[in-house]
Chains A and B, each alone.
Chain A
Amino acid sequence: MATQSTVRPTWPRITAALGGNDRRSVFRDPLLIMVLASPLLYIIMVRIPVPPLTDHLASGYGFDLVPYYPLIVSSFPMLGTMLLLGCAGGLMLLEEKDTGTLHALRVTPMPLAVFAAYRCATIIVVSTGYVAAAMWLSGIAPTSLLPAVLVLGPLTGLLAIVIALAMAGIANNKVEGLAMIRALGFVLFMTPVGAFIVDERWETAFWLVPSYWPSKALWVAWDGGDYWPYALVGVLYSGAVIAALGRVFVRRAG
């Protein structure tokens, strides 16, 4: 029987060990460098085209795009970040499953749950930074949204974890993961568009889709309303989905 390690896995030790490893892999892995550079993508997709498009639609077709700005910001800087981080996270998890890294972790003193918690915490911190940066760089979001971003950022991170776990828990390999992201990403990205456009009476139809909640919270915050209830439901709902998917993932990875 293996002797119990005398080094107890405390949080500072875990962060030091995994953080060091992640720092090294960030610079080794072109994906992560690109992910870190991705707020630039939102500048290209939102900041540059949206103002001229607004003028063009107004002068050419008499269509006012400004009321749709909250939808543009919730879709690209926020849900775009969610898709990118979720997809990257899911592919990483599938890779770890493929290469047996997760099995290797089981014989270390680090409990799998702690490893998972560390990964989730990283995603939440990174996504908060991203959503804040992407919204600021989008050039069309009011600065009054900033306090809300501190809540919406972590919520976006939770949704990214939902995507990552759904991919890693259900797909058998990275190719199936891609097929899943096509279907899942479409629903998560497009449903809030529907919720934004339809009459408020029909909005309850969108409650089941987890990405509705942060989107709705952002639209309410944009108008200076009380966004807390939506954010809170979003956190609880995503948390429940993560717990369920996490169990599936651990069962299938084991």
Chain B
Amino acid sequence: MSRLASTIRMEGRLQFRYGFVYAALFTGVMWLSILLPIPSSGRPAAGPLVLFADIAIVGFFFIAGSVFFEKGQRTLFALVMTPLRFGEYLGAKLATLTALSLVIAFLVLIPAHGLEFNVGVAAVGIILTTLLFLLVSFVSTAPFASITDWLMPGGLVLLFMSLPLIHYAGLWTNPVFYLHPTHGSLILFGAAFGTLTPSPWEFVYSVAYPVAWIVGLGLVSRRVFDTYIVAGRGGS
């Protein structure tokens, strides 16, 4: 088995052990109990909001929690000594947590909406949005010594990442939102449920722009990992 595959397997096992998987499944079932009583005409309006405001951010606190835990237990420093590359370490976390969001999303969406939504567009939206939230979370943990220190700044980061909801709700539709990394996510979710009808260039933007952010944040992650974790700044 390749190093990446075995790291992913290890990471997946840890997420079961920490209870992340059960907690995420549980909230998925809870969402169903909220969505199913809503008349089916009202559900498409709820779909994008549930995906954006909850299911895509399942991993936001989990990835931060696991990084702090690994720092606290010093297992991270042991990993740095092994041939495991940073890309494989982060990739395993991103792959498992994105898969978790994707599974929960379809677990909620299919019973609630049947196949009355564009599955492909929704899936692309979930993958891109989840990756953005996970990477932002990972980068934002770097300067903090413990999870308790990060919790509130992390909450503010989450609030910032949710700002495009203002545009989506129609409260303030300024073009400046197109600069925001998660604006495209809401366009994709809206398109998947038919609440928005984006033009072709908006589709291109909604995929290409987040991808550019993901690549950028990936590079930043590498840098902060080297500076704050390997070099040991930012406490243990």
Partner of A178, one of B61, B156, B159: B61
In the bound assembly, the distance between CA atoms of A187 and B34 in angstroms comes to 11
CB distance from B108 to the nearest CB of A (A): 13
CB distance from B23 to the nearest CB of A (A): 4
Residues of B in contact with A (beta carbons under 8 Å apart)? 18-20, 22-24, 26-27, 30, 34, 58, 61-62, 65-66, 68-69, 72, 144, 146-149, 151-153, 155-156, 159, 166, 169-172
Q: Are B170 and A56 in contact (CB under 8 A)?
A: yes
Q: Are A180 and B34 in contact (CB under 8 A)?
A: no
Partner of B148, one of A31, A183, A193: A31
How many residues on the A side are at the interface (Cβ–Cβ under 8 A)?
37
For the residues of B in contact with A, the DSSP-based class is helix
Q: Are B146 and A182 in contact (CB under 8 A)?
A: no
For the residues of A in contact with B, the DSSP-based class is helix
Q: Are A175 and B69 in contact (CB under 8 A)?
A: yes
In the bound assembly, the distance between CA atoms of A178 and B65 in angstroms comes to 7
In the bound assembly, the distance between CA atoms of A149 and B216 in angstroms comes to 47
A43-54 toward B: CB 8 Å interface, digit per residue (1/0)?
A: 011000100110
Chain B residues with Cβ below 8 Å from A236 are: none
A157-197 toward B: CB 8 Å interface, digit per residue (1/0)?
A: 00000000000000101111011111100110010011000
Q: Are B58 and A182 in contact (CB under 8 A)?
A: yes
In the bound assembly, the distance between CA atoms of A31 and B171 in angstroms comes to 32
CB distance from A248 to the nearest CB of B (A): 17
Can you give 5 contacting A-B residue pairs, CB < 8 Å?
A: A31-B149, A56-B171, A91-B151, A178-B62, A193-B34
Q: Are A31 and B159 in contact (CB under 8 A)?
A: no
In the bound assembly, the distance between CA atoms of A186 and B23 in angstroms comes to 10
Chain B residues with Cβ below 8 Å from A49 are: 166, 171
Q: Are B27 and A91 in contact (CB under 8 A)?
A: no
Chain B residues with Cβ below 8 Å from A178 are: 18, 61-62, 65, 147
Q: Are B155 and A41 in contact (CB under 8 A)?
A: yes
Q: Are B24 and A182 in contact (CB under 8 A)?
A: yes
Q: Are A182 and B152 in contact (CB under 8 A)?
A: no
In the bound assembly, the distance between CA atoms of A56 and B166 in angstroms comes to 11
In the bound assembly, the distance between CA atoms of A174 and B20 in angstroms comes to 12
A117 within 8 A of B: no
- The 10 A-B pairs of least Cβ separation, nearest first, read A34-B152, A179-B19, A179-B23, A178-B65, A182-B23, A175-B69, A183-B23, A31-B148, A175-B65, A175-B18
A38 within 8 A of B: yes
Chain A residues with Cβ below 8 Å from B151 are: 31, 34, 87-88, 91
A126 within 8 A of B: no
Chain B residues with Cβ below 8 Å from A87 are: 151
**Seed contacts A92-B148, A174-B65, A179-B20; 5 additional CB < 8 Å A-B pairs:** A98-B72, A174-B68, A175-B62, A175-B69, A187-B30
A35 within 8 A of B: yes
Q: Are A176 and B18 in contact (CB under 8 A)?
A: yes
Contact of A53 with B30 at beta-carbon distance under 8 Å, contacts A87-B151, A88-B151, A91-B147 already known: no
Chain A residues with Cβ below 8 Å from B34 are: 190, 193-194
